[in-house]
Amino acid sequence: MSVFVSGSTGFIAQHIVNQLLQLDYKVIASVRTQAKADEMTHNFNNPNLTMVVTGDMSQLDAFDPAFKKYGSEIKYVIHAASPVVFDTTDVVKDTLIPAVNGTKGILESIKKYAPQNVERIVQTSSVSSLTTDPETRDPSITANEDSWNSYTWETAQASPADAYNGSKKFAEKYLWDFLEENKDVVKMKATTILPVFVFGPQMFDSSVKPKLNVSVEVINSIIHTPPNGKVRDLAAKFIHVEDVAKAHILAMQRDDLIGQRLILSEGNYNTQDILNYLNNDFPVLKGKIPAADTTALAEGRPSKDLTYDNSKSRALLGFKFKSLKEAVDDTAAQILKHEGRI
Ligand code: NDP
């Protein structure tokens, strides 16, 4: 039996595909174009990986041909595809519709072609589904696994960040509501994964480009800031991409994780913490980026953002997340190696 992974070209999804293949699962991975399918086939070079081209999931029937063809052999679905787009002037077309139609479409395809074969679905949601964008910068707020943001389809159109947070809530809520309404028709049970900022290396060194995916670009841009330059003053939370992939697979395998929303956050980071690790751990960067400032350690700094209480998710998952030092060092080592600097 196979695992279907949507959006398999994504930063997170490539790590999910990799860990599944290492565990000897057969993987059917969807991408938008044949060129991307060919690149994935080449990079993974694994006979257990089958690529399928599904096009743009704004089209509600995008996943139909894939489930029509492979539905009888799919037992697990990991729905990781979703737009992560912040440079748009049309948030309805570029963020809200593809996110919601992607979830609607994949669920309808399963209902049509594999209602009794697919046993589990794991959807990549986000902590963005828990609060509004302004609330993420409010230290008086604590969110947990029961939280939902207050966006409506209309208020989510205020900015790309509002649209992203809205899109994650609408898509995740659609999943839970669909399963409740169709519990007599489809066999599958769900778990959702809600990561904070995901750091870590790209699955393949060849994916390192001057500009990287939104979350890793936080570190990439600091590596390329000159010594007298100013880094973006950002305080948020982080998690390592390998932990995110691992959590998806555990969610797919373990019955005790059915019905759970799992918040993946190891802890706080601040752009100065990243500068400190880069300066201390990569001598090649000394004098090439803004200096370390170890007097401003994370613990001593006033909080500038909300708190996620993910004690329930941590206890349920039961494994230790990687540290900020590991996340920053793994990310930077790959970029610097690719640039021939180490
Ligand atoms: P990427 O941008 O690297 O991956 C997004 C994936 O979704 C790509 O495979 C992309 O395909 C696919 N996709 C986007 N829009 C469409 C569309 N209209 N039709 C079909 N496929 C589409 O992002 P990440 O790996 O970072 O994100 C993956 C998931 O994790 C998303 O659901 C995101 O919301 C969530 N997440 C990410 C966090 C992070 O910090 N990175 C934090 C919290 C949640 P293509 O390659 O063709 O563009």
Residue 40 lies in a domain: yes
Residue 195 lies in a domain: yes
Do 162 and 275 fall within a single domain? no
Residue nearest to atom 30 of ligand 1 (CA): 124
Q: Helices 214-223 and 324-338: crossing angle, nearest 10°?
A: 70
Of 17, 18, 82, 128, which is best to mutate to test ligand 1, by the most ligand atoms within 8 angstroms of its C-beta? 82
Ligand 1 center to 11 CA (angstroms): 7
DSSP string, 224-237: TS-TTS-----EEE
Do 192 and 252 fall within a single domain? yes
Radius of gyration of the chain (CA): 20
Q: Give yes or no for residue 198 CB within 6 A of ligand 1.
A: yes
Of 4, 8, 11, which is best to mutate to test ligand 1, by the most ligand atoms within 8 angstroms of its C-beta? 11
Q: Give yes or no for residue 83 CB within 6 A of ligand 1.
A: yes
Q: Where are the alpha helices (DSSP H) in the chain?
A: 11-22, 34-44, 64-70, 91, 97-113, 160-181, 214-223, 241-253, 271-281, 311-317, 324-338
CATH number at residue 259: 3.40.50.720
Dump pLDDT digits (tens) for 15-25.
Answer: 999 999 999 99
Under 8 Å CB-to-CB from 341, ≥6 apart: which residues?
284
Do 242 and 218 fall within a single domain? no
Q: Give yes or no for residue 126 CB within 6 A of ligand 1.
A: yes
Q: Give yes or no for residue 59 CB within 6 A of ligand 1.
A: no
Ligand 1 center to 13 CA (angstroms): 8
Residues designated catalytic:
168
Predicted local confidence at residue 299, as pLDDT: 53
Predicted local confidence at residue 235, as pLDDT: 87
Ligand 1 center to 85 CA (angstroms): 9
Ligand 1 center to 106 CA (angstroms): 15
Domain count, the chain: 2
Q: Give yes or no for residue 81 CB within 6 A of ligand 1.
A: yes
Mean of the per-residue pLDDT values of the chain: 96
Predicted local confidence at residue 301, as pLDDT: 63
Of 17, 36, 84, which is best to mutate to test ligand 1, by the most ligand atoms within 8 angstroms of its C-beta? 84
Single out the residue of 164, 131, 162, 165 nearest to residue 148, CA to CA: 131
Cα dihedral: 67, 69, 73, 77 (round 10): -20
Rounded-to-integer distance, Cα 184 and Cα 191, Å: 18
Ligand 1 center to 152 CA (angstroms): 22
Do 6 and 152 fall within a single domain? yes
Residue nearest to atom 11 of ligand 1 (CA): 7
Predicted local confidence at residue 297, as pLDDT: 54
Do 232 and 242 fall within a single domain? no
Do 243 and 124 fall within a single domain? yes
The interface pTM score, or ipTM, of the predicted complex is: 0.99
What residues of the chain score a pLDDT lower than 50?
A: none
Do 161 and 217 fall within a single domain? no
Ligand 1 center to 312 CA (angstroms): 26
Answer for the pair 129, 165: CB distance below 8 angstroms, yes or no.
Answer: yes
Domain membership of residue 282 as a residue range: 205-236+267-306+322-335
